[in-house]
Amino acid sequence: MPPVYEQICARMPAELVIETNALTKVFGKQKALDGVSLAVAPGAIGLLGPNGAGKTTFMKCLLQLQPISSGSAKLLGREVGTEGREIRKRVGYTPEMDCHIPGMAGCEYVTYCAQLCGLPFQAARQRAHEMLDFVGMGQERYRKIDTYSTGMKQRLKLAQSIVHDPEIVFLDEPTNGLDPKGQAQILELVQSLWRAYGITVVVSSHLLHDVEQICEQIIIIARGRVLVHDSLANLKAQRRGWAEVVLPGRHEELEAACGRRQWPCKLLPNGHVKVEHNSESLNPLLQLLHEMKLAPLEIIPSPNALEETFVQALEISHAAA
């Protein structure tokens, strides 16, 4: 179970982008959020959970698109529910569903969004084209949005969410419906928001690979409750003790050598050799490879740490239900 609100605040930096205390959202007799207490520092944040876990509801409550039933929340230090206008100036959002206005061209739509955020028309138009350049849209920006592909619509949503230079952006399933190339391009853009421009990013997704690729903090929600809130580095450190070794050949020799050391070892379908070396560091494994004069192409420590944490957290949630 996650620590209580006061303990979280005590261990986190003074500058927090999200603070919630016993945040609860009820729809009829159903609790979509059940006493969520979080203190989140700036960064690239992954919001994980199965469908119906409460991820979208959590974001909508913070964005004041849904009223909070009980508890409290702050976004960028401002009280949610009482300082809506000030919060909206500093926050960007891309919903999971399409949010364009039919009949508008892409550049017109992003310009309009900038104006809604308070920019005068000339500044809004210039900023819109800058953001469309940033997300990689060329002449198609002058076409009607109704004619766009899924990938183009995702780029457009990203452009409108950052056109007013927000301090934090909420992205709900930003790679939905994209092919692998499109996914990689969108993830690269999202990653650059924090790493290059210092914009905090909250990525809600059920795709562990996407989150692991770009996020530093992980929040796992299920059944409306926070099961895990930690850094990805800490989660990987807790799962030390095994690694995947990528070799050009001699897999059987490595498996035999690991067997002599009583290290469970097996060849995976992807051609990697999974070795459970049961050590805090990779040093024993590296020593073995050196003794065997094996030059690995790559060693991947705890590659599935996030997946294992996610599965374990869901199992505990189901057992407690």
State pLDDT tens for residues 15-52: 899 999 999 999 988 899 999 999 999 999 999 988 88
pLDDT at 317: 64
For residue 3, pLDDT beyond 50: no
Quickly state the pLDDT bin for 11 (edges 50, 70, 90): very low
Average pLDDT over residues 228-248: 79
Whether residue 305 is predicted with pLDDT greater than 60 in this model: the reply is: yes
pTM, two decimal places: 0.78
Is the pLDDT score of 133 beyond 80? yes
Task: Give the model's pLDDT for residue 318.
Answer: 66
Q: What is the pLDDT of residue 321?
A: 58
* Token duo for residue 256: 């035999």
Q: Which of 2-11, 45-54, 242-251, 282-291 has the lowest mean pLDDT?
A: 2-11
Write phi, then psi, for 268 (nearest 5 degrees): -85, 160
Tell me if residue 112 falls in helix, strand or coil.
helix
Kind of pairing between the strands at 18-27 and 70-75: antiparallel
Distance separating alpha carbons of residues 297 and 139, to the nearest angstrom = 42
Q: Which residues contact 52 (CB under 8 A, 6 or more apart)?
A: none
Closest CA to 152 of 177, 188, 173: 177
pLDDT band for 178, please (50, 70, 90 cuts).
confident
Packing angle, helices 150-162 and 180-195, rounded to 10:
10
Angle, CA of 177, 65 and 196, to the nearest 5°? 60
Residues 6+ apart with CB under 8 A from 83: none
Whether the Cβ atoms of residue 91 and residue 63 lie closer than 8 Å to each other: yes
* CB contact at 8 A, 284 and 270: no
Quickly list DSSP for 209-250: HHHHHH-SEEEEEETTEEEEEEEHHHHHHHT-S-EEEE-SS-
Backbone angles phi, psi at 241, to 5 degrees: 125, -5
pLDDT of residue 141: 95
- In whole angstroms, what is the distance from residue 154 CA to residue 161 CA? 11
